[in-house]
Amino acid sequence: MNKKITQLKQELSKAVIGQETMIEGLLVGLLCDGHILVEGVPGLAKTTTINAFSKALGLDFKRIQFTPDLLPSDIIGAQIYNPQDHSFSIKKGPLFTHLLLADEINRAPAKVQSALLEVMQERQVTIADETFKLESPFLVMATQNPIEQEGVYALPEAQLDRFMMKIVVQHNSEEEELEIMRKGASKSFAEVQKVLSIEELHTLQKGLEKIHIDKELEQYIVHLISATRDPAKFKLSSIAESIMFGASPRASIDLYKAAKAKAFLRGNDFVTPADIGYVVHDVLRHRIVLSYEARAKGVSTDEIISTIVETLPIP
Amino acid sequence: MKNSLGKLILVLLCSLWLHAEDFKYHFTLSNTSPYVKEAVIMTLDLNQSNRNKVLFFHFALKKNPDYEFHRITAKETGENIAARVHYEYLIYPLRSGEIQLHFDLIQKATTEANLVYSFSGDRDNVKGLTTVDTQIDLPPLTLKIKSLPKGTSLVGDFSLTHSLKTNKAKAYEPLPFQVTIKGSGYPPLLENLLPENINFTLFKENPIVNAVNSSQGTSSTVVYPMALSHSQSFELEPIVIKAFDPKTQKSYTLKVPKQHFNIRKVDVKSLVDKIDSPKPLESDLPWLSTILISLLSYLVVFAAGFLTAISLKWKKKRTAQTSHPLKKKIEACKDEKALLQLLMATDAKQFALSIEKLEKGLYGNAKINFNKVKQEVLEMLK
């Protein structure tokens, strides 16, 4: 099955140069049925990446540009009155897709962000009195721009918790940028071909269940999450004042699943502490709420996670 | 001034309530024949008589060079259809003879429905109040102003104090001197406090005025800060200010006694500049010295810039080599597990290759050279 993953990565590399972190994150999200929040400045191939994924997997893809005047009905759909036969019909919104790019999600007000809650958690949409199940896979890749502060609505904690991972996308290296520049100027990016069917993707997802994780590592994951809630218990008093709220139980589940997916992507049939290390920052960075003191001192959640990982002994 | 103006019995000018179309009004004056610059308290009460309208009033005294005025209060009581407004003004006549106080009064009439409509607005949807404005002609009030005794500078009950830290100084050294006039009455602001024809240099600032207007008049403290300077000893003639208290109708004087200042002469030789208007330095070859100075300046600036750039580059290189925050931690790792844990905590993706090796050593059966892996990681930091 790993051959398929290699093929998929090769196909994606035709359209996306570099950005391994984002691609790995999306693969983990696809395998675990989790949603991904991507933070990065504009122009880092976020749309191109998810578009390439949809083509390589033969999946539907839709993009919603979030704006302050967006309404919930603009994304989930609405009941429309037909004056000819005096009846109402359901007009489905752009949510009805496999891969959804919610671009600049923090530009929309809370009511629109909340409209995504049911979809992301239950994978179903309720329009008027009718509920529709969404086809599998359904993956939301939301982006937010970290630069601008004016006219943005910070995502509520409940919403953030629905995202399996938050990936911080960085600029490409100079070599990668050179390749992008040349290919972009000559329009020589190759067309992405379908290399994986939905059935094969489902098989890959089922393959995750076979990945073995040791009891000690399960305990290690639980300790990592508990340390965000009660640092003093794990001799981490130095960060206790920096944390207002620790990670939720969803974080334990997502870290467990993500570590398995990472082991799978690395071609292993068992999870090692390094697999957890590879995904722990992405899974936890948006789930830890910093205290006012920590924000004033400029402490980041990544620093807190690093301190926890550095302190808790690995099995 | 122990007797305050408020204790005076108000002289009622118009004891009768006068009638306009929709309201009654009533003026009072504390004094109709005051002295120049004596405080006069004027009140106006407006009481709505027509209960079919909602009334608002806009009242003000007209500006005039004959008098100066300050509004003390404007209290609105009563309900929408029974407005009651009480105004209180402090007036200072500025010239003797007969002067007239003129007024502006605008009656603003509206309905309760209009009022409700305007209240229904909010910050983002302001709904203006529609009113029918009528200019009301109020008859002017006349004051007969008595003139002050000749030479009077201040009107009211004031006291004067002065402060002088020292009366000894070196030549041209400024001597701080301060005069304070405090009391009740027309604010004691004087253009020329010191006697005319002074034979020293006077440095003066604008007076510092602290005045509070109330229905008892104006309580003020005026501070005149200044400094005196001279090359030799000098005298400040007595300061004499003639004041008049209208309450007692008596004149009095405020005095600063004659002051003598001892000035010590400075030895000219000890001064930095010993020659008055020295001639500019001249050179036999002025063009050569100019070129040499320019060249030297250029070389000095160039050398400073060059050395700074080199030192910054050297410092940056040295900092990068020695002070990477991870370096010490990596060097302190004693076994594979500790190093793996540290790399996981920092940036697992950057050290993927080293992590893989450590994993194989720890969880596989491969044999690895721990020190070599450690060195590889340290190399990556460079």
Residues of A in contact with B359 (CB under 8 A): 272, 274
Which pLDDT does position A175 carry in this prediction?
84
What DSSP character marks residue A106?
G
A8-11 long-range contacts, CB within 8 A, separation 24+: A8/A56, A8/A57, A8/A195, A8/A196, A11/A52, A11/A56, A11/A192, A11/A193, A11/A195
pLDDT of B296 strictly over 90: yes
Task: From the options 2.102.10.10, 3.40.50.920, 3.40.50.10420, 1.10.8.80, give the CATH code of A211-311.
Answer: 1.10.8.80
CATH number at residue B255: 2.60.40
Residue A141 distance to chain B (closest CA, Å)? 21
Considering its fold, how many domains does chain B have in total? 3
Asked if A307 lies within 8 A of B345 by C-beta distance, the reply is yes
* Candidates B337, B346, B349; nearest CB to A278: B349
Q: Roughly what angle, to the nearest 10 degrees, separates helices A20-32 and A198-207?
A: 80
Asked if B359 lies within 8 A of A272 by C-beta distance, the reply is yes
Instruction: For residue range B107-155, list pLDDT tens digits in order.
Output: 989 888 888 887 776 666 677 788 899 998 888 999 999 999 999 999 9
* Candidates B344, B346, B356; nearest CB to A273: B344
Asked if B340 lies within 8 A of A274 by C-beta distance, the reply is yes
- B19 with B43, same domain? yes
How many Å is the maximal CA-CA distance in chain A? Answer: 71
ipTM above 0.85, yes or no: no
User: Pick from B117, B145, B173: which residue ends a domain?
Assistant: B145
**Rounded Cα gap, residues A290 and A288, in angstroms:** 6
- B93 with B135, same domain? yes
pLDDT of B43 strictly over 90: yes
User: Pick from B226, B246, B269: which residue ends a domain?
Assistant: B269
- B264 with B246, same domain? yes
CB pairs under 8 A between A and B: 43
Q: What are the residue boundaries of the structural domains of chain A, listed by start?
A: 2-200, 211-311
With a pLDDT cut of 70, the percent of chain A lying above it is 98
pLDDT of A310 strictly over 80: yes
* Candidates B340, B345, B358; nearest CB to A306: B345
Residue A82 distance to chain B (closest CA, Å)? 36
Closest CA to B175 of B51, B259, B72: B259
pLDDT of B310 strictly over 50: yes
If contacts are CB pairs under 8 Å, which of residues 233-292 in chain A contact chain B?
272-274, 276-278, 280-281
- B158 with B133, same domain? no
Say yes or no: A94 contacts chain B, CB-CB below 8 A.
no
pLDDT of B11 strictly over 70: no
Residues of B with CB under 8 A from a CB of A: 337, 340-346, 348-349, 355-356, 358-359, 363
Instruction: For residue range A190-210, list pLDDT tens digits in order.
Output: 788 888 888 888 888 888 888
In the structure encoding, which two tokens stand for residue B227, read together? 């400094």
Q: Rounded to whole angstroms, what are the CA distances from B59 to B24, B26, B63, B136, B137?
A: 14, 13, 13, 10, 11
Q: Which amino acid is at B327?
A: K
Q: Is residue B235 part of a domain?
A: yes
Average pLDDT over residues B286-307: 91
Asked if A314 lies within 8 A of B359 by C-beta distance, the reply is no
For residue B182, list its beta bridge partners: B159, B221
Query: What does pTM read for this prediction?
Result: 0.53
* Candidates A20, A274, A314; nearest CB to B348: A274
CATH number at residue B84: 2.60.40.1230
Handedness of CA A88, A89, A90, A91 (dihedral sign): negative
**Rounded Cα gap, residues B34 and B28, in angstroms:** 14
Q: How far is CA A36 from the centre of its chain?
A: 1
* Candidates A21, A309, A310; nearest CB to B349: A21
pLDDT of B331 strictly over 50: yes
Instruction: For residue range A253-308, list pLDDT tens digits in order.
Output: 999 999 999 999 888 888 999 899 999 999 999 999 998 888 888 889 999 999 99
Q: What is the CATH number of domain A2-200?
A: 3.40.50.300
Select the more confidently predicted residue: B210 or A50: B210
Q: In this structure, are strands B23-29 and B40-48 parallel, antiparallel, or unpaired?
A: antiparallel
Residues of A in contact with B343 (CB under 8 A): 277
- B352 with B241, same domain? no
User: Pick from B228, B243, B269: which residue ends a domain?
Assistant: B269
Residue B378 distance to chain A (closest CA, Å)? 18
Domain that holds residue B85: 5-145
Instruction: For residue range A39-93, list pLDDT tens digits in order.
Output: 887 788 887 888 888 888 888 888 888 888 888 888 888 888 877 777 888 888 8
Q: Is residue B302 part of a domain?
A: no
Q: Rounded to whole angstroms, what are the CA distances from A246 to A17, A150, A154, A299?
A: 36, 28, 18, 15
Q: Is residue B11 part of a domain?
A: yes
Asked if A274 lies within 8 A of B337 by C-beta distance, the reply is no
Asked if A277 lies within 8 A of B345 by C-beta distance, the reply is yes
